[in-house]
Amino acid sequence: MENAGGLGRLSGKSAVVTGAAKGIGRATAELFAREGARLVVNDVDEAGLESLRGELAGAGAEVVAVVGDVSVVEDARRIVGAAVEGFGGLDVLVANAGVIPLNNIVDATPEDWDHVMAVDGRGMFLTCKFAVEAMLKNAEPGGSIVCLSSISGLAGQKDQSTYGPAKFVASGITKHLAVEWADRGIRVNAVAPGTITTEAVAALPEEYKAPMKEAHPIGRLGEPSEVASAILFLASDEASFITGAILPVDGGYLAQ
């Protein structure tokens, strides 16, 4: 794909982006393509994923779309396997797929807990597991994993009784895998976005969004492209001495 303003920071690298049909995942896939990555994009949203695949392929990117649920073992294995089969290995995983329920612990049901932990927790575990296995088989073992945590994965918030703990899983797996695989050349980092203007956030009640704007010292919500830029940095060789980091992309929220 023509760089179209990119610097080729992922030129020749193969990357998997989960949850890529919308929001941060889509912005990340678009940016990775501009930076020269060969891409496997994944989502459960087949129509949205096909729209993205068509957009990227039309611009000249090497891209494979895999519809699948990251919480299902065979789907997660198939998503990572598509990079190995299509591009000869895996260099970058962006473990982005997730759901964002809002509920307090009184209103939340055990089924709510199981669902968010399946997608945001188990799904991240499975995609990281199969990515590490693939990266160890690269001609030169190594790679970069970027997990999607959240300000809710580093600090408490109201109405986050299921989502927040699932994002603490993301923060935790980032640190443990970073230490576990550093000596094999695999870096594992995370971004912790504040409230970002994704489709999911746009659908939230205004009484939730208005106070969140004020809660970010910068005075606005973030854009998916701003998170994608941070993901690109951590995924690229520019971050070659960074592992185990959780980078807030939050307009100063956690600095308070």
- Residues with catalytic roles: 163
- Other C-beta atoms within 10 Å of 46: how many? 12
Structure tokens at 96: 């982005």
| DSSP code at position 44 | S
Whether 83 contacts 63, CB under 8 Å: no
- CA 108 to chain CA centroid, nearest Å: 25
Tell me the H-state helices in the chain: 23-34, 46-58, 73-87, 110-116, 123-136, 163-181, 199-202, 206-215, 224-235
- Other C-beta atoms within 10 Å of 223: how many? 15
**Neighbouring C-alpha atoms within 13 Å toward the C-beta of 219:** 0
Look-up: residue for tokens 């929220």? 253
CA distance 170 to 165: 9
Q: Looking at the DSSP assignment, which residues form a beta bridge with residue 39?
A: 15, 63
Beta pairing, strands 92-95 & 143-148? parallel
Look-up: residue for tokens 């919500």? 221
